[in-house]
Chains A and B, each alone.
Chain A
Amino acid sequence: MQPTYSVEVQDITRRFGQFVAVDHISFQVEDGEIFGFLGANGAGKTTTIRMLCGLLLPTSGQARVEGFDIYTQTHEIKQVIGYMSQKFSLYDDLTVAENLAFYGGIYGLGRAELDKAVQNAMSTIDLSPYMNKLTRDMPVGWKQRLALTCAILHKPRILFLDEPTGGVDPISRREFWNLIYDLADGGTTVFVTTHYMDEAEYCNRLSIMHNGRIIALGSPQALKNEYQKNTIEDVFIHLVKKQIE
C-alpha cells in the first residue's frame, strides 16, 4: 500500500535577511509515524517547524501538512495540529487548571470534553498535585508536562514537539515517551526534536540537520548500520563533526 503522508516538504528555504536558516530541504513524514527531527544548535529545526505550523512563511519551496498547503491553508492546518514550542509559552500567572481550561476553550472544547481530555492525559502525566498552583511556581519539568498536556487536549492529527523533554528528569522523560507512543498508537503523527540521543532511538525515523540542510535521514537502525556506529549519539557526533571540519 502506498503510504500516506502527514507532512510533505519540497525544497523549502527560509532566509532571515542574507542568512539562510533553512536551505532547500525536502522530506516526508508518514501518517502515524514518530519522526525524530535532530540537528545541531542553530541547524534550522525550530524554523522548519514554525513554517509547518504557519508561524513563519517560507522564502521558497512547497510544503503540505495533513494535505493542506502551508501558504494558503494555514487556518485549516491550525485545526489539526498540536504544537509545543521550545520556549515555555503558557501563562505563568494562571494556575495549571486555568491554563488547561484556557487551551481547551481556545480549541472549542466543552466542559465535559475538556475534563475527559485532561483525565486521558493524566493517566500518563499526573498533574493533579499541581492543579491549583500557579504555573510560575512549578519546576521546569512539570511545566513541560503541562505544556504537553495543553498541546494534545484537542486530539490533533499531528503533534509538533520542539524539545519537549528539555530539563525533564530521566524517569519523567520515559513517561513522556510512553504518552508519545500511546498517541502514535492512536494514529497521531508525532514530529519531535530532541537533543537526548536515547530518545532518538525511540523514533521510527530520524533526520539529522546541520546548517540548514538535512545531512542524514533514515530509521535509527539504518543510520547506525550505514555509519557503523553503536548508538545514534555516535552517529550524530560523527556526522556533525565531519560537517564542522
Chain B
Amino acid sequence: MTADIHCDNVAKRYGSVAALDGLDLQVREAEMHGLIGPDGAGKTTLLRILCGLLFADSGRIRLADHDPRTQSRALRAFLGYMPQRFSLYPDLTVTENLRFFADLFQVKPDEREKRLQRLLSFSRLGPFSERKAAALSGGMKQKLALSCTLIHTPRILLLDEPTTGVDPVSRREFWDILAEMRGEGVTILVSTPYMDEAARCDRISFIHKGKVLVTDAPANIPGLYRQQLLEVKTAENVAAARAIQADGGFSSVQVFGDRIHVSAAGDAASMRKRVQACLQQHHISIEEIRPVPATIEDVFVELLR
C-alpha cells in the first residue's frame, strides 16, 4: 500500500536548535496514526510542516502526493488541521462559530445537520449554543475548537494534542468520532500525551529529539520492553515508591495511578524478594505484587532513558 503521508529525512532548525533531525515517517491511507514523545520532541513542528504553515529545511514530504510547500492551495482542499492552541472567535456564539466553519468548508446542509448533532452529543455544548465562546470554560472551548475542525470530512486530518483539557467522558466520545471517520477512509495523524489514546491508534510513532525512534502497532510496543517488570500495590504508593527508589537496586520505579511499576534487568523472583524486603524495612505492607507485561508508557520511559 502506498503511504498517504510520506516524510523522508526531514530536517528543520530554529537557529541553533534542531527541531526535526532527519525524520522519517510513513502514514498509510485510512490509518489512525499516533505521535507520542516528550515535550519538545518536534511533534508540533512536524504537524505544522505537514500542513504547510512551516517549511522544512530539507527532506522530502508528500501528502497524498502533494508537496505542502509548493501545492499548499490544492492540499488545503482536502486537509484538516487542528493546532495545539486553536483560536475561536471569542465574540461569536457556539452556533455562530460552528456555522462559520461549516460555511468555510462548504459542508452540505443535510450532512451539516447530521454532523452537528453528532458533535453536540460529544461536546455536550447543546445547552450553551447561544453562549459566546469567550464565556466558555477551558475544556468547553477546546471541545468547540474540535467540533469546528470536525465539521467537515477532510481526506487527511492532522490533530495536535486535541484533547488537552477535555474531560474523560468527552475524550472517549471524541475518539469514537475519530474512529468513525477513520472507518470512512480518513487518514488521521494525531499527537497526544495520553497513552490510552495512543493505544487506540492503528500504529504509533515515538518521536524523540526530532527523529522517529520506533513505529509499530500498539499491541507490538510492549514487546520492545527489555527488562523485567513488577507491579506493586500498597496503601502508601508514594512512600513505597520512594523507598524502592532509594534501595538503588532497580533501574526504574514509577507510580502508575494506584500502582507502582518496578523494573530491573534481573528475574522476577529475586526482584520480588528485594522489593518485599525493602518495604518491610519501611513498614509498608504490600497488597499485591506480580510480574506484568509492559504498557506503552513503560516503553516510553525506557526509550527515553
Question: Do A and B actually bind?
Answer: yes
Interface-located stretch among A74-82, A98-106, A151-159, A229-237 = A229-237
| B137–A237 CB distance below 8 A | no
Cross-chain contact of A240 among B135, B167, B297 (Cβ < 8 A): B167
Residues of B close to A231: CB separation below 8 A: 257-258
A64 CB to nearest chain B CB (Å): 25
> How far, in angstroms, from A233 to B14 measured CA to CA in the complex?
40
Minimum CB distance partner of A47 in chain B: B137
B165 touches A166 (CB 8 A): yes
A174 contacts B255, CB within 8 Å?
Answer: yes
Complex CA distance for A139 and B172, rounded to whole angstroms: 26
- Which residues from chain A contact B84 at a C-beta distance below 8 Å? 140, 167
Closest A residue by C-beta to B196: A233
Given A167, A177, A236, A241, which contacts B193 in the complex, CB threshold below 8 Å? Answer: A167
State which of B36-44, B52-60, B218-226, B272-280 sits at the interface with chain A. Answer: B36-44
A198 and chain B: residue at smallest CB distance = B257
Q: Are B137 and A139 in contact (CB under 8 A)?
A: no
Q: Which of B165, B166, B172, B194 contacts A86 (CB 8 A)?
A: B165
Asked if B39 and A42 make an inter-chain contact with CB atoms under 8 angstroms apart, the answer reads: no
Give Cα A197 to B36, complex, Å. Answer: 19
Separation of A41 and B136 alpha carbons in the complex (Å): 9
| B contact residues, total (Cβ < 8 Å) | 42
Give the docked Cα–Cα distance between A220 and B143 (Å).
27
B18 an interface residue at 8 Å Cβ cutoff?
no
Tell me whether A163 and B165 are in contact (CB under 8 A): yes
Complex Cα gap A39–B258 (Å): 19
Beta-carbon contact of A201 and B258 below 8 Å: yes
Judge whether A41 and B137 touch: CB under 8 Å: yes
- Chain B residue numbers with a CB within 8 Å of A174 are 254-255
Contact A140 B168 (CB under 8 A): no
Is A115's CB within 8 Å of the partner chain B? Answer: no
B265 within 8 A of A: no
| Pairwise interchain contact A139-B39, C-beta atoms closer than 8 A | yes
Question: Is there contact, CB below 8 Å, between A172 and B255?
Answer: no
Q: Does B171 contact A (CB under 8 A)?
A: yes
Q: A87-B138, A163-B165 are in contact. Are A170 and B39 (CB under 8 A)?
A: no
In the complex, chain A residues 140-197 whose Cβ is within 8 Å of any chain B Cβ: 140-142, 163, 166-174, 177, 181, 195-197
Q: Is B195 an interface residue (CB 8 A)?
A: yes
Verify if A137 is at the interface (C-beta below 8 Å from B).
yes
Inter-chain contact A236/B168, CB cutoff 8 Å: yes
Complex interface: chain A residues within 8 A of B143 (CB): 41
* Bound CA–CA A153/B255 (angstroms): 26
Restricting to B252-287, which residues have a CB under 8 Å from any CB of A?
254-258
A168–B237 Cα distance when bound, in Å, is 22
Determine if B170 and A41 form an interchain contact, defined as CB atoms under 8 angstroms apart. yes
State A41–B124 Cα separation when bound (angstroms).
Answer: 9
Residues of B within 8 A of A140 (CB): 39, 44, 84, 161, 164
Contact pattern, B 132-145, Cβ under 8 Å of A = 1, otherwise 0 = 00011111101100
The listed residue with most A CB atoms (<10 A of its CB), out of B44, B124, B137, B170, is B137
**Interface extent on A, as a size class?**
35 or more
In the complex, the chain B residue whose C-beta lies closest to that of A181 is: B238
Give residues 36-56 of A contacting B (CB, 8 Å): 39-43, 45-46
Judge whether B86 is part of the interface by a CB distance below 8 angstroms: no
* Residue in A39, A42, A171, A196 with the greatest tally of chain B CB atoms within 10 Å: A42
Which A residues touch B194, using CB under 8 A?
Answer: 196
Question: Would you call A202 an interface residue if the criterion is a C-beta within 8 Å of the partner chain's C-beta atoms?
Answer: yes
Contact flags (1/0) for B279-305 with A, using CB distance below 8 Å?
000000000000000000100110010
In the complex, the chain A residue whose C-beta lies closest to that of B300 is: A170
Q: A41-B139, A163-B138, A167-B84 are in contact. Are A198 and B256 (CB under 8 A)?
A: yes
Closest chain B residue to A163 by CB distance? B165
Chain A CB within 10 A, most for which of B136, B164, B193, B304: B193
Residue of B nearest to A165 (CB): B193
Chain A residues near B1: list those with CB within 8 A. Answer: none
Say yes or no: is B169 at the interface (Cβ < 8 Å to chain A): yes
Residues of the B chain whose Cβ atoms lie less than 8 Å from the Cβ of A139: 39-40, 44
Of chain A, the residue at the smallest CB distance from B128 is A42
Q: Is the CB of B238 within 8 A of A141?
A: no
Residue in chain A with minimal CB distance to B171: A195
B136 touches A42 (CB 8 A): yes
Say yes or no: B40 contacts A40, CB within 8 Å.
no
Interchain CB contact under 8 A, B38 and A137:
no
Given contacts A40-B167, A139-B44, A168-B193, 8 further A-B contacts (CB under 8 A): A167-B164, A171-B38, A172-B39, A195-B165, A198-B257, A220-B258, A231-B257, A240-B169
A-B contact pairs, 7 of them (CB 8 A): A16-B135, A40-B170, A140-B39, A140-B84, A166-B165, A170-B301, A244-B169
Residues of chain B having any CB pair with chain A under 8 Å: 14, 36-40, 44, 84, 124, 128, 135-140, 142-143, 161, 164-172, 193-195, 237-238, 254-258, 297, 300-301, 304
